[in-house]
Amino acid sequence: MKKDLLTINDFSREGVLTLFEMSADLKEKRTNGIEHLPLKGKSLGMIFNKHSTRTRISFEVGMYELGGQALFLTGDQLQLNRGETLKDSAQVLSRYLNGILIRTHDHQEVIDLAEHATIPVINGLTDLNHPVQILADIFTIKEKFGKIENIKIAYVGDYNNVTYSWVTGASLMGMELSIACPPDFKPDSLPPLSGDGKVEFFEDPLKAVKDADIIYTDVWISMGDSGDLEKKEKLLAPYQINQKLLDATGKKSLVMHCLPAHRGMEITSEVLDGKDSIVFDQAENRLHVQKAILETLLS
């Protein structure tokens, strides 16, 4: 039976830990130049309706390094934008490919694609969530701290698709998540929680980051955002990750950002480039974790 990755909860906690063991092994193999081609002769279709740097390149390189190939497809290249139904496209792509990665706006589109496809579907980001990002982030934390349980993450800024996936990921993996955002940005409800992690909201970022092992942020203006963006930036200005906020943890804490970063807005260059930043380590780990996802789902 085929397995999809539409949200982190599509994996059990044990499944995520197994994925991380594979990721570490794949990272070591790559470092040592050891060839590993479990997906030789297999193809991944990559549908992109949103711009991408890390997601596109890491999946494309990942398929190549596993022995397969990736086909980059945009909405204007497919018949979907000319009236073909998602159901018909899913059935046709299932005859040609071994898996589909989709990065799009509407999360329901991903759900519908997975429902009609007979091959694995991977969510490369929607307006609702971003599971492949947070899986790589949690792997990076495990790498740095040697554990996952009882690690405290303070997420500071806009509540968006990355935050949503942090809620599901922290809950599943037994982590503590403090979210600092303006009151108007707090969601009416949380996604389904499937573990024993703890999630709390704070209006005051200084309180949220106290005792945090990780301070995490994302852009204030996400792709597709509309409305009064200038007002949004003003509301979020007190939630910038800077040296003062980093010092407020009261301990040696590390800084993460899923990138791209708008330096001087949600994070200062001083912190992003500082000794406590592991931003580019987490970016690299997108490749290793996604290779593990591909091998798990497509082999």
Q: How far apart are CA 155 and CA 166, in angstroms?
A: 9
Q: How far is CA 29 from CA 22, 132, 291, in A?
A: 10, 21, 12
**Alpha-carbon torsion (262, 290, 57, 126), positive or negative:** negative
Both structure tokens of 115: 């429902």
Both structure tokens of 19: 């994925």
Residue 260: is the preceding peptide bond cis (ω within 30°)?
yes
User: Is 119 within 8 Å of 153 (Cβ atoms)?
Assistant: no
Residue 256, beta-bridge partner list: 216
Instruction: Report the catalytic residues.
Output: 103, 130, 133, 218, 258, 286
